[in-house]
Each structure stands twice: as structure tokens, then as C-alpha cells.
Amino acid sequence: MANAILVSECISCAACEAECPNGAISSADDTYVIDAVLCDECVATGGDSACKAVCPVDAIVAA
């Protein structure tokens, strides 16, 4: 399973992109998206999603 960004909640701060160990988060036209193929919810690092932890507006949810 992967995470997803709620576009309506995202403030485009880029905090999540910098924290993703898999490079699964990218931006296009001031909108951030998570590549479901690359996102493993940080299982390799203990299962605590790095992007969720740094999102200041809780815009990242399980897809």
C-alpha cells in the first residue's frame, strides 16, 4: 500500500519531498504527488512514514 497527498489540504511546502527515502514524492505545477510504485510507507525504515511525520497540515494519508 502507498500514501497519497490530499491536494485540497496540501500547502506545497515541500517538506515531504525532502524526507522521502524512496524518492516517491515529486511536484508538478505546485502540486505534490506520491508515486504508488515507489512508496512503501517507509517499511524499510521501520514503517513510520517519513512524509506523514513532517507534513504540517496532515495532508498525507494511506491510499
- Domain residue limits, the chain: 3-62
pTM for this entry: 0.88
Residue-wise pLDDT tens digits, 10-48:
999 999 999 999 999 999 888 999 999 999 998 767 767
> For the structural domain made of 3-62, what CATH number should be given?
3.30.70.20
- pLDDT recorded at residue 38: 96
Q: What sign has the CA pseudo-torsion 50, 55, 58, 63?
A: negative
Count of Cβ atoms closer than 10 Å to residue 16 Cβ: 25
